[in-house]
Amino acid sequence: MLLVAEVGRVVTGEHILDDVLDENWYGSTKTLDVHISTLRRKVGAGDATQHPTITALPRVGYRLDTP
């Protein structure tokens, strides 16, 4: 996963979409928001001091932070 490879660094939404989706895909960028939300529930359930968190940086991208 791209966020894991870039832990602690901001990864733009565009970079994530380019890495994951086919070049001919022309859907909504809300798809990324839904997937990030699902990932947050899976990896960050509970206390943030114990689990990794995915931080959204509006109009920039996402960052995976580890305790």
Say what the pLDDT of residue 14 is.
85
Say what the pLDDT of residue 11 is.
94
Question: What does the alpha-carbon distance between residue 42 and residue 51 come to, in Å, rounded to a whole number?
Answer: 10
Query: pLDDT (tens digit, 0 to 9) for every residue of the chain, 67 residues total?
Result: 788 898 999 999 888 888 887 777 676 668 888 888 998 888 866 666 778 888 899 989 999 988 8
Among 8, 10, 3, 15, residue whose Cα is nearest residue 66: 8
Say what the pLDDT of residue 39 is.
87
Please give the torsion angle defined by the CA atoms of residues 44, 46, 47 and 49, in that order, rounded to the nearest 10 degrees.
Answer: -30
Ramachandran bin of 64, using left for φ above 0, alpha for ψ from -120 to 50, beta for the remaining angles: beta
Tell me the whole-structure pTM to 2 decimals.
Answer: 0.77
Please give the class, per CATH, of domain 2-65: mainly alpha
User: What is the residue extent of each domain of the chain?
Assistant: 2-65
